[in-house]
Amino acid sequence: MRKWIISAAGMLAASVAGGVLAQQLAMAAPEVVVETSRMAATTIGRTSTGIPIQSITMGYTVSAKGLDLASQIGAKAFEKRVSEAALAACQEIGRQYPDSTPNDAECAKAATEKAMAKVHELEAAAAKR
């Protein structure tokens, strides 16, 4: 009889812990991956068939942690984080591959625009809650 009581207590603890974990996962801060791509004038490698590889991509994950995306201030702060990450990624590629195109500003603009689709989805979902 005693084994049954211990097992029941263990099952109750596991179900409570599982519920807490599910709640924490549901409340995790939304994230967006900002990915940028630039072309380099120099070949950075070749495929197994000898085709030159000249495209460079870089991505940064941007978290909305600490922001209320349902508020205008939180949404704008998240958008700023995404824009800054895009510029940082483009500048890093530009530093490593100075002859790459487009320039940092154009690269950042394209990467930001691409990431904003996900940002706006997250903001709309937050506004519905």
Domains of the chain by residue range: 29-128
Q: Which pLDDT tens digit goes with each residue over 14-23?
A: 333 343 333 3
Mean pLDDT of all residues belonging to the chain: 78
pLDDT score, position 98: 86
Backbone angles phi, psi at 70, to 5 degrees: -80, -20
Percent of the chain having pLDDT more than 70? Answer: 74
pTM: 0.68
pLDDT score, position 43: 66
More confident residue, 105 or 129: 105
**25-39, 52-66, 97-111, 113-127: which has the highest mean pLDDT?**
113-127
The residues, any chain, with a CB within 8 Å of residue 39's CB and separated by 6 or more, are 54, 55, 56, 100, 101
